[in-house]
Chains A and B, each alone.
Chain A
């Protein structure tokens, strides 16, 4: 059999598989990633179908005021808070806010970061220096302090908190994408594209970005977890969403921290919700990183 024939038969056997599809296949083979996806999926379901899942409304007082709120029982799974509201229902409704904040914050950080990172990496030269030095400036400030500063500047509110947390993550996204773009920019296929006559913007959008974006996707999932913690932290220090009746996990933690001795469940369950969701997202993120790494597999 000649070499050409051997190559031909080899071709006939192999099925065409795209890289993004192999990434999905690899993700499916990773039990930790599946567990993470299940956790995140459950929280998503909780958020979407909150009114159906929660037995009571988030602000519905079902037990009356109590200085020592009753703990978990068959009727109130997670117990009641000091205003007589069902904690389980509040946590279920709280998933909406946490997921929304995580999603929007990442969207803000990702979109601005992508724009700046791609601009800096692709253009190079002075633009690059200017963009990246200003990113360094932002990175020099501790992220949580910066978020606090931005919220103070913008005023309280759900949107403001999301924007603040998102803005803080911009330099990370920009830096990561810039590096990734720089690495791709030097590769032969980009040169080949230029030789063919592909316009620069098209080369960036349709060739470089798809190859450069892998690590950024991973960072996005991990950032979503951080964003959820940060909104909880902002709520904890009193800079969270303005409406006090909103069931926010971080605020629940903050308001009840002093009751740790006589009503542990008020801190335990919201804290557990944050940890579980963050864990789920992190597992998915780690799985994605492994699945998208071209060095693993062929």
Chain B
């Protein structure tokens, strides 16, 4: 539980902005991921939360080298992932897999299920012929699909079943790490719980480590051991799930949590609600200083718009990137929006 499976240091993914069709000039960069550092422990589920455009998906893809990072280091079980080329990288792919958000577009519509689920095994030369069939049947069983599903095509299945197909494919190679990119957000609420349970079940049986990417904190708090909150390409807070949900330190985390309704009308009526104004700024031109200062209800006159806050450990295992985290928690700084806070819980 303590050993780190994945260590990410100062990961950067910048997409160049080019103008001109033939002789492209680079005129800027979209800093989708800008200095992310985190570690994923063996066997845990690390939740990665943020709104659209925060760079959480790109972070997940960069870990697997599905997007080329432009800077930083990724170490997987002691191996420098970014140094791998060609065949070495392909071999490492056996150990890290991905589950996609959209169970419709992530399955090739012209392949039947047995073909889709068996493909990783064929590509890596692990099984063929009858052994392949047997293994595919095992995998279908494992994810709770009927055995005769193999001969059918993705369009014959519901969203939840398709996500099961995607899961079967992801675990076919018996990986160590699975990056699950919003695995349930495209599904009906009634199906979400089934898939989340299946994910938990597979984790126990196959000894998996998850990076669970989601925009919905309500989902993540139930499946994650630790949660990292991303905003505009950087991590603003990282803590154990109970700590982050119970005592969030970063104003952005507070805002996210205040958006999760509490199923108790009395609490719901008096609890602190922080409503963020505006949209996430463009990652092509992030604000100076703290990236959140343009929307932060706790913004101060000094430091916030000039000095980039470092990610610092405020309590053991609880890191946050806010200059004023302690003051805000102690209630010495109050949110500026008059209508926003009905009752500050300090």
A11 to B150, CA, bound (A): 11
- Which chain B residues lie closer than 8 Å to A7 at the CB level? 158, 160-161
- Does A210 lie at the interface of the complex (its beta carbon under 8 Å from any beta carbon of B)? yes
Q: Which residues of A contact B169 (CB under 8 A)?
A: 192, 196
A120-157 CB contacts (< 8 Å) to partner B: 129, 133
On chain A, the number of residues with a Cβ less than 8 Å from chain B's Cβ atoms is: 32
Assess the A8–B90 pair: CB atoms within 8 A.
Answer: no
Binary per-residue interface labels of chain A (193-209) against chain B in the complex, 1 for a CB within 8 Å, 0 otherwise? 11111110010000100
The answer to whether B110 touches A18, judged by C-beta atoms less than 8 angstroms apart, is: yes
A1: CB under 8 A from chain B? no
Contact across chains for B123 and A129 when beta carbons are under 8 A apart: no
Which B residues are CB-close (under 8 A) to A210?
A: 110
Judging by beta carbons under 8 Å apart, are A197 and B107 in contact? no
Min C-beta distance of A173 to chain B, whole Å: 21
**Stretch of B26-34, B95-103, B215-223, B308-316 at the chain-chain interface:** B95-103
B77 is an interface residue with CB less than 8 A from chain A: no
In the complex the two chains form, is B109's CB within 8 Å of A199's CB?
Answer: no
Residues of B within 8 A of A (CB): 21-22, 61, 64, 66, 90-91, 93-94, 97-98, 100-102, 105-112, 119-120, 123-124, 144, 146, 148-149, 151-153, 155-158, 160-161, 166, 169, 173, 190-191, 194
Contact between chains at B152 and A16 (CB < 8 Å): yes
A→B interface (CB under 8 Å): 3-4, 7-8, 11-12, 14, 16-20, 129, 133, 187-189, 191-199, 202, 207, 210-211, 294, 298
A192 touches B106 (CB 8 A): yes
- Residues of chain A with a CB closer than 8 A to B161's CB: 7
* Inter-chain contact A187/B97, CB cutoff 8 Å: no
Select which of B94, B110, B123, B156 is within 8 A of A16 by beta carbon: B156
Residues in B with CB closer than 8 Å to A193 are 108, 119
Of A3, A19, A192, which is within 8 A of B109 by CB? A19
Number of A-B contacts (CB under 8 A): 91
Main secondary structure of the interface of B (DSSP, over half): loop
**B161 closest partner in A (C-beta):** A7
With contact pairs A192-B98, A197-B123, A198-B119 given, residues A16 and B105 touching in the complex (Cβ less than 8 Å): no
A8 to B158, CA, bound (A): 11
Q: A195-B64, A195-B66 are in contact. Are A189 and B108 (CB under 8 A)?
A: yes
> Which of A129, A191, A195, A199 touches B22 (beta carbons < 8 Å)?
A129
Q: CA A17 – CA B158 in complex, angstroms? A: 16
Supposing A18-B110, A191-B100, A197-B123 touch, asked if A298 and B94 sit within 8 A by C-beta, the answer is no
Q: For residue A211, which residues in chain B have a CB less than 8 angstroms away from its CB?
A: 108-110
Q: How far is the CA of A236 from the CA of B93 in the complex (A)?
A: 61
CA distance A196 to B109 in the complex (A): 17
User: Chain A's nearest CB lies how many Å from the CB of B281?
Assistant: 25
List chain B residues, Cβ under 8 A from A188.
100-102, 105-106
**A129 → B minimal CB distance (Å):** 6
A118 to B112, CA, bound (A): 24
A137 CB to closest chain B CB (Å) equals 13
**Which of B21, B120, B151, B152 lies in contact with A197, CB distance below 8 A?**
B120
* Cα separation A9 to B337 with both chains bound (whole Å): 55
- The 6 closest A-B CB pairs, nearest first, are A197-B93, A188-B106, A188-B105, A195-B98, A196-B120, A197-B90
Chain A residue contacts of B157, Cβ below 8 A: 11
CA distance A8 to B156 in the complex (A): 12
Known contacts A11-B157, A16-B156, A187-B105; 17 further A-B pairs (Cβ under 8 A): A3-B190, A8-B146, A11-B149, A11-B156, A17-B153, A19-B109, A19-B155, A188-B106, A193-B119, A194-B66, A195-B98, A196-B123, A197-B120, A198-B119, A199-B123, A207-B111, A298-B155
Instruction: Tell me the complex Cα distance, A298–B101, Å.
Output: 21
Say whether B108 contacts A11, CB under 8 Å.
no
Across the interface, do B100 and A192 meet the contact criterion of CB distance under 8 Å? yes
In the complex, what distance in Å separates the CA atom of A4 from the CA atom of B191? 10
